[in-house]
């Protein structure tokens, strides 16, 4: 049997573990027996993941939970809405859930965010387990307790902090992931090296292609390293205090969320693709305002481009020529913005990020402005 590694998220009485390794989906009943024994389980899964992985999880939990129900939700970012939340809650309540029911999110970040928020508010709070099936969810959104939905005003503006009781990361499920989705998750892996661990960034430069091409050991190493990095930040700053350590995890996201909003969450731009382009914009802004070197900014861009991630605006807007004013307007609505000022996560250098709220938006505008067609 392949090695199973454990990462602890130390949150006092809410501490939990992340289990990482091959075959965990089939072993989920044993892994969750202490949480599920004699309790109902409601699996929330998107329609595409249900076809691939729901039967295995249902079989695994059947001998442990008193009853196992599955509720499917639409695939894609558009499902993460107030209407989607209301529909999911209505179907959960129709099942006769009680305070001992455990919600199990099976899928990517959208499913985890939606199911986690439903667990946070249903009956004033239900236990919650994350079983992420995308690389992005495995290294980022499944860890840390952020849940929520999007609104017309922006991404993730309605939600709650609701920590999972456990996270099971089965590395085998990545074999079913389309390469584009795998790349989108890889952007978040690179983020951890860029903001806090230059040695890990260098490891990715040397080994990232092995990870993307299916090397099991490389995948496990990168996922464990990413989860350890995030767990340490979450333990130090669970609820993202202003300018606190957790804010650093938003490197690339201020630009990236604006790009996603302009795309309308229609699937033409994946979250990780927006983050990749956003990290390059943030790194180049860092070089403009100092002290980050232009060499570090372009080194980050070169690595992302080398694996096939977008690094330029023209690669993400599909010829729609979004304007600097449009993008800045979305950035001003970002949940980290304060008093109309855009808060940026920038680099001092590769391996060290800082939060800056003193950047004149003209510096960002200069990066976002492009020559317009006559």
- Residue 319 binned pLDDT confidence (cut-offs 50, 70, 90): confident
User: Across all residues in the chain, what is the average pLDDT?
Assistant: 94
**Mean pLDDT for the stretch of residues 79-105:** 97
pLDDT for residue 238? 94
pLDDT above 70 for 373: no
Domains and CATH numbers, the chain: 5-176 (3.40.50.1970), 187-368 (1.20.1090.10)
* Count of all residues that appear for the chain in the document: 374
Under DSSP, is residue 247 helix (H, G, I), strand (E, B) or coil?
A: helix
pLDDT for residue 371? 60
**Mean pLDDT for the stretch of residues 159-167:** 97
pLDDT above 80 for 336: no
Distance from first CA to last CA of the chain, Å, rounded? 63
pLDDT for residue 374? 40
pTM score, whole prediction: 0.94
Strand partners, 105: 44, 130
pLDDT for residue 37? 96
- The set of catalytic residues is 124, 146, 188, 230, 240, 246, 250, 253, 257, 271
Say if CB 245 and CB 32 are below 8 A apart.
no
**Mean pLDDT for the stretch of residues 14-31:** 97
pLDDT above 90 for 3: no
pLDDT for residue 240? 86
**Mean pLDDT for the stretch of residues 117-141:** 98
Under DSSP, is residue 357 helix (H, G, I), strand (E, B) or coil?
A: coil
Percent with pLDDT over 90 in the chain? 86
Alpha helices in the chain (DSSP H): 28-31, 33-36, 47-62, 82-94, 109-121, 135-136, 179-196, 198-212, 216-236, 253-263, 271-289, 294-307, 313-316, 324-332, 361-368
**Mean pLDDT for the stretch of residues 347-356:** 97
Three state DSSP letters for 117-181: HHHHHHHHCCEEEEEECCHHHHHHHCCCCEEEEEECCEEEEEEEECCCCEEEEEHHHHHHCCHHH
pLDDT above 70 for 372: no
Percent with pLDDT over 70 in the chain? 98
pLDDT above 80 for 337: no
Tens digits of per-residue pLDDT, 275-302?
999 999 999 999 999 999 999 999 999 9
Distances, alpha carbon 247 to alpha carbons 91, 132, 205, 264, in Å: 35, 23, 25, 24
**Mean pLDDT for the stretch of residues 79-85:** 95
pLDDT for residue 327? 95
pLDDT above 50 for 225: yes
pLDDT for residue 265? 80
Q: What DSSP letter does each residue of 37-81 carry, written as one string?
A: TTSEEEEEEEHHHHHHHHHHHHHHHHTTSSEEEEEEE-SSGGGSS
**Mean pLDDT for the stretch of residues 11-22:** 95
């Amino acid at each position: 049997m392949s090695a199973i590694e454990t990462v602890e998220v130390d949150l006092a009485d809410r501490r939990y573990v992340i289990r990482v390794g091959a075959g965990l989906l089939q072993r989920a009943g044993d892994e969750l027996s202490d949480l599920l024994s004699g309790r109902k389980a409601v699996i929330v899964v998107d329609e595409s993941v249900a076809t691939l992985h729901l039967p295995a999880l249902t079989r695994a939990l059947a001998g442990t939970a008193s009853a196992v129900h599955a509720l499917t939700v639409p695939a894609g970012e558009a499902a993460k809405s107030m209407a989607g939340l209301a529909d999911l809650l209505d179907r959960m309540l129709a099942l006769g859930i009680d305070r001992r029911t455990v919600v199990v999110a099976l899928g990517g970040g959208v499913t985890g965010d939606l199911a986690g928020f439903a667990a946070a508010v249903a009956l004033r709070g239900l236990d919650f387990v994350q079983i992420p099936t995308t690389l992005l969810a495995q290294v980022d959104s499944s860890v840390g307790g952020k849940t929520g939905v999007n609104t017309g005003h922006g991404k993730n503006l309605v939600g709650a902090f609701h920590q999972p009781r456990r996270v099971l990361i089965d590395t085998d499920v990545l074999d079913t992931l389309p390469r584009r989705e795998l790349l989108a998750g890889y952007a978040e892996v690179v983020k951890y090296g860029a903001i806090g661990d230059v040695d890990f960034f260098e490891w990715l430069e040397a080994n990232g292609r092995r990870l993307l091409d299916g090397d099991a050991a490389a995948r496990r190493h990168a996922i464990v390293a990413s989860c350890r990095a995030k767990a340490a930040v979450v333990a130090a700053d669970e609820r993202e205090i202003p300018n606190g350590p957790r804010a650093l995890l938003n490197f690339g996201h201020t630009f990236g969320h604006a790009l996603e909003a302009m795309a309308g969450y229609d699937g033409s731009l994946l979250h990780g693709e927006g983050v990749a382009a956003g990290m390059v914009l943030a790194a180049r802004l860092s070089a403009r305002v100092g002290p980050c070197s232009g060499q570090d900014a372009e080194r980050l861009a070169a690595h992302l481009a080398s694996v096939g991630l977008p690094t330029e605006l023209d690669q993400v807007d599909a010829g729609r020529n979004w304007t600097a004013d449009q993008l800045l307007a979305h950035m001003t609505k970002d949940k980290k913005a304060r008093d109309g000022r855009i808060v940026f996560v920038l680099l001092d250098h590769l391996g060290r990020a800082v939060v800056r709220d003193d950047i004149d938006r003209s510096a960002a505008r200069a990066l976002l402005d492009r020559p317009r067609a006559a």
